[in-house]
Amino acid sequence: MVSLLFCALLLGGLQVESAPSADEILFLPGLTKQPMFHQYSGYLNVSESKYLHYWFVESQVDPSTSPVVLWLNGGPGCSSLYGLLTEHGPFLIQPDGSSLEYNPYSWNMVANVLYLESPAGVGFSYSDDKNYVTNDTEVALNNYLALKEFFRLFPEYSKNDFFITGESYGGVYVLTLAEIVIEDSSINLKGIAVGNGLTSYESNQNSLIYFAYYHGLLGVRLWSNLQTFCCLKGQCSFYGNPNVNCTERVTEATNIVYNLGLNIYNLYAPCSGGTLGRYEEDQTVIHHSGIPFPKLPAHIQGGEKPLHPVKTQKKMWLELPCINSTASRIFLNNPYVRNALNIPPEAPEWGMFSSEVFEHYGRIVTDMTKQYLKLLSALTYRILVYNGDVDMACNFLGNQWFVDALQQKLQVNRRAWLYNDGNSEQIGGFVKEFSNIAFLTVRGAGHMVPTDNPRAALTMFTRFLKKQPF
């Protein structure tokens, strides 16, 4: 920790007084009218040769008093700009790939939002040596150094309330970063929020089998065999079970979930690009969210090695199964847009998902219990774990089990929470609140909650930031 803070001090040696004018986005193509709020795009140097791209949008209310929120998409290898353009950013990309529409449910309605493309090799982020071998520990450190550099460049925000948020494998990024940030009193951390996050490989895999059966994906014969070979005295283990018969049935079940052609990010949404052909093309990245194959748990002990190595690809980016990022890719690779975002010529072509990063990523942390308990023990941070309830990549049931297993003091029994859909009060989902942590579901939403139910997502986010009852 001493050496880590020393690095941060070196990077923060030069002081500035206000936001860097060279990074300001003065004109963003695709908009019929330019925004009234300020926005910035540039690079945060985390070493002499490694540059993480950021896009910072100021709050549409009062930037000086609004909290600062860091957003991290997951992967590993997914760009946070996809979250900006399709989930909760101030503008949403349109199907033509050239026009933007204002998002009335943008999270910068209530906060200053920092979208960080991490690690290097993701999106517009890069390193001079093009070495994109990394792991959970190094990414946490680099994200921290990027954060320190951000507050050096934007000192006017250094005293604002600060929150770390993310999605999917961002569940690892958020917690490992927070574990470092809580040791730095200069950062005014108030809480974290994780959406459809990876919290535990074991919980995710065990719960997925239940999710699949009770959503009508598994037949009675298969379910009966799973009960016979994977369960003992009412306790089922579908993850790393040494029984070969169990492993075979779990493989059969997960093949239905992943390989049949269902949209794993939203069970009830169509699969962009169709089913069979699409899945043959994208087989290498189908487990990008950190879901282990049934036969691979023993490989977790490999430490620095990626859990799921993928075959070499000619291109540096891939599409995710059932997700069409074509419009975002066309827009962000437009030369006029790159110029507006202050992207230098040496920066890579933008893609939603970096196969280079994914292929060389070392997954070290497989259960986030230690990190959550460390934050909870401080008794000062507000934590929200939320899930769209029809996601199969990181399903709600596994995260519900995970939060319950933290054994925190129950404050509010599980209940429905409400939001206004523009006409009337509707049930947004269900919430269970403990001391300093809440688990919340968003009804009918998948992996990308703000995409599927933007009104409910903004309501949830606002209440979280303002410490209001959900």
Query: Are 396 and 203 contacting, i.e. CB atoms less than 8 angstroms apart?
Result: no
> Do residue 153 and residue 207 come from a single domain?
no
**Structural domains in the chain (count):** 2
Cα four-point dihedral sign 184, 187, 188, 191: negative
Cα four-point dihedral sign 58, 63, 64, 68: negative
> Do residue 168 and residue 205 come from a single domain?
no
Beta strands 91-93 and 189-195 are: unpaired
Residue 96 annotated among the catalytic residues of the structure: no
> Do residue 182 and residue 289 come from a single domain?
no
Give the structural domain span for 119: 2-200+366-465
User: CA angle, 354 as apex, 281 and 326 as ends, to 5°?
Assistant: 60
> Do residue 51 and residue 110 come from a single domain?
yes
> Do residue 29 and residue 168 come from a single domain?
yes
Residue 185 annotated among the catalytic residues of the structure: no
> Do residue 206 and residue 189 come from a single domain?
no
> Do residue 180 and residue 223 come from a single domain?
no
Model pLDDT for residues 157-198, shown as the tens digit of each residue: 999 999 999 999 999 999 999 999 999 999 999 999 999 999
Assigned token pair, 105: 């449910």
CATH at 111: 3.40.50.1820
Q: Is residue 353 part of a domain?
A: no
Q: Is residue 446 part of a domain?
A: yes
Q: Is residue 309 part of a domain?
A: no
The pLDDT, as a whole number, for residue 445 is: 99
Nearest to 119 by CA among 197, 42, 199, 53: 53
Residue 207 annotated among the catalytic residues of the structure: no
d(CA 38, CA 43): 17
Nearest to 372 by CA among 436, 316, 452, 314: 436
Model pLDDT for residues 374-429, shown as the tens digit of each residue: 999 999 999 999 999 999 999 999 999 999 999 999 999 999 999 999 999 999 99
* Given 308, 328, 447, 452, the catalytic residue: 447
> Do residue 210 and residue 168 come from a single domain?
no
Query: Are 91 and 104 contacting, i.e. CB atoms less than 8 angstroms apart?
Result: no
Neighbours of 248 (CB within 10 A): 14
Q: Is residue 252 part of a domain?
A: yes
Q: Is residue 323 part of a domain?
A: no
Give this prediction's pTM: 0.90
Q: Is residue 173 part of a domain?
A: yes
Q: Is residue 317 part of a domain?
A: no
> Do residue 249 and residue 374 come from a single domain?
no
d(CA 148, CA 151): 5
d(CA 112, CA 66): 6
Beta strands 437-442 and 425-434 are: antiparallel
Model pLDDT for residues 70-87, shown as the tens digit of each residue: 999 999 999 999 999 999
Note the Cα 358 to chain centre separation in Å: 14
> Do residue 101 and residue 184 come from a single domain?
yes
d(CA 350, CA 93): 15
Note the Cα 357 to chain centre separation in Å: 15
Domain end (from 279, 302, 325): 302
Q: Is residue 319 part of a domain?
A: no
Domain end (from 270, 302, 334): 302
> Do residue 391 and residue 267 come from a single domain?
no
Model pLDDT for residues 451-469, shown as the tens digit of each residue: 999 999 999 999 999 999 9
Exposure of 346 by Cβ count < 10 A (0-12 exposed, 13-18 middle, 19+ buried)?
exposed
* Given 59, 80, 127, 168, the catalytic residue: 168
How would DSSP label each residue in 228-259?
A: HHHEETTEE--SS---HHHHHHHHHHHHHHHH
Note the Cα 159 to chain centre separation in Å: 25
> Do residue 292 and residue 379 come from a single domain?
no
SS3 at position 161: coil
Residue 16 has pLDDT above 90, yes or no: no
